[in-house]
Chain A
Amino acid sequence: MPTIVVEVMPKAELLDPQGKATKGALSRLGKSEFTDVRLGKRFELTVEGPITDQVRADVAEIAEHVLSNSVIEDVVAIHYPEGEK
């Protein structure tokens, strides 16, 4: 069954406390070459049957209105399976 991937990131201009904490941990491990860490979300949506225009429309809608909050996050990518572009 095809799986569609939606990627959501906190807005670039906002403080990302989780990324900041992770970056601090890396520094403590001596991995100081990493100057920034940002932490986002990856959603895998599995559908039954072919990816129709209706499915694409639904994915676009829920990515924008459910999986992300446009006040604090951006949908940075939606990946469809090979051959479904």
Chain B
Amino acid sequence: MRIGVVTFPGSLDDKDAQRAVSIVGAEPVALWHADHDLKGVDAIILPGGFSYGDYLRAGAIAAISPIMREVIEAANAGMPVLGICNGFQVLVESHLLPGGLIRNDCQQFVRRDQRIRVENNTTAWTSDFAAGQEITIPLKNADGGYIANAETLKRLEGEGLVAFRYLDVNPNGSLNDIAGITNERGNVVGLMPHPEHAVELGFGPQGAERMRSGLDGLPFFTSVVSQFVNA
């Protein structure tokens, strides 16, 4: 399986996402913001960082960059797309997911190992989790406050489209403790915390037995691979 990772000017975690793809046995493919070419990939990751310096609004300029035309087309045709952090902001700015992300209510950049609950394990990126599974992956953002109008929130909650919810601490003022959401079809998923930073011993969140041994990000990537293999 070939999984594309889009690099925008200011992307930071594109290499980490590519590494996560390699670790689960898929082939990472570097995609470039200024191209109109998805290079025949089977899934796409929009990585974390500060695309275009987060000028205008976080993710706003990336959302209208050349490659997003093809990404939006592919997403609407059912291709799995995962937006992590800045990638989540790009997904809401390009209207592939509803709502918006604003400055953290604490007015500070937050970095912590964040516990979240997997609320929907039927998406392309969460099927290897158990329903309601509680995991810990790193969170690091300035603009992570998820908001939506009352009608959209009601629909997200009613239709099970809240994919992840913050546990213990709501780090950024997100409504209903929402950490991530999915579209109705389950192929487009966006979240603020970073699964790609919890895929390798020694480099993840603090584990109970060993330092930095958290691997809770792996199922995101194994999910999309196993669905592809079984398709």
Residues of A with Cβ closer than 8 Å to B?
A: 10, 14-15, 17-18, 20-21, 66-67, 69, 71-72
Q: Are B100 and A18 in contact (CB under 8 A)?
A: no
Q: How distant is A10 from chain B, measured CB to nearest CB, in Å? A: 8
Main secondary structure of the interface of B (DSSP, over half): loop
Q: How distant is A17 from chain B, measured CB to nearest CB, in Å? A: 4
Q: Are A67 and B56 in contact (CB under 8 A)?
A: yes
Contact of B103 among A18, A67, A71 (CB under 8 A): A18
Q: Are B147 and A17 in contact (CB under 8 A)?
A: no
Q: Are A71 and B105 in contact (CB under 8 A)?
A: no
Q: Are A69 and B103 in contact (CB under 8 A)?
A: no
Give the chain B neighbours of A15 by CB distance below 8 A.
102, 105, 145, 173
The answer, yes or no, to whether B57 is at the interface (CB within 8 Å) is yes
A-B contact pairs, 13 of them (CB 8 A): A10-B102, A14-B102, A15-B102, A17-B102, A17-B106, A17-B107, A20-B107, A66-B56, A66-B60, A66-B64, A69-B57, A69-B93, A71-B100
Give the most central of A15, A20, A67, A71: most B CB within 10 Å: A71
Q: Are A72 and B107 in contact (CB under 8 A)?
A: no
Q: Count of chain B residues with Cβ under 8 Å from any Cβ of A?
A: 20
Contact of A72 among B98, B102, B173 (CB under 8 A): B102
The answer, yes or no, to whether B91 is at the interface (CB within 8 Å) is no
CA distance A22 to B145 in the complex (A): 19
Rank and list the top 9 A-B pairs by shortest CB-CB distance, nearest first.
A71-B100, A72-B100, A17-B103, A17-B107, A21-B107, A72-B102, A69-B57, A69-B100, A15-B105
Give the chain B neighbours of A66 by CB distance below 8 A.
56, 60, 64
CA distance A15 to B100 in the complex (A): 13
Give the chain A neighbours of B103 by CB distance below 8 A.
17-18
Q: A10-B102, A21-B107, A71-B147 are in contact. List 6 more A-B contacts (CB 8 A).
A: A14-B147, A15-B102, A17-B103, A17-B104, A71-B98, A72-B57
CA distance A72 to B99 in the complex (A): 8
Q: How distant is A9 from chain B, measured CB to nearest CB, in Å? A: 13
The answer, yes or no, to whether B230 is at the interface (CB within 8 Å) is no
